[in-house]
Amino acid sequence: MNGDTRSFAKTLRADMSLPEMLIWTLLKHRQSDKPVFRRQYPIGAYVADFYCSKARLIIEIDGMAHDIGDRPERDIFRDQWLREKGLEVYRISAKDVLSDPDEAVEGMLIVALERLKLFTR
């Protein structure tokens, strides 16, 4: 991870989208029985919207921009690179977050807990 990526992540933390803010509001109160997520976490040349290191899980909140131009191909390449590093990428549409943030967070926690089972066997 280089300094530019860390600096960019810091900027993103200060300027989160509404769906990201809704998710973070629900996740930031750490509970001992729930997986811990970090927001806008730098990994290599990329910044994950949310990252659970113990589960090796990245959560991406995808707005409409992810559907236009070369963005879908860039997301595929990025996800492939991250998976080669042993990380799982789980994408949630921003529309779904706005519709029901609690359900989106619940889905994130379920995926993280399932991944954690893989590493505790």
* Mean model confidence pLDDT for the chain: 87
- pLDDT given for residue 15 in this prediction: 73
| Torsion sign over Cα 64, 69, 70, 72 | positive
**Amino acid 70: pLDDT:** 66
Query: What pLDDT is attached to residue 65?
Result: 65
Which fold, 3-119?
Answer: Endonuclease; Chain A (3.40.960)
**Backbone conformation region of residue 44, classed left if phi is above 0, alpha if psi is from -120 to 50, else beta:** left
Q: How confident is the model at residue 23 (pLDDT cuts 50, 70, 90)?
A: very high
As a whole number, mean pLDDT of residues 52-60 equals: 96
Question: pLDDT value at position 12?
Answer: 66
pLDDT interval class at 63 (50, 70, 90): confident
- pLDDT above 70 (res 121): no
Residue 90 pLDDT class (50, 70, 90 cuts): very high
Domain ranges of the chain: 3-119
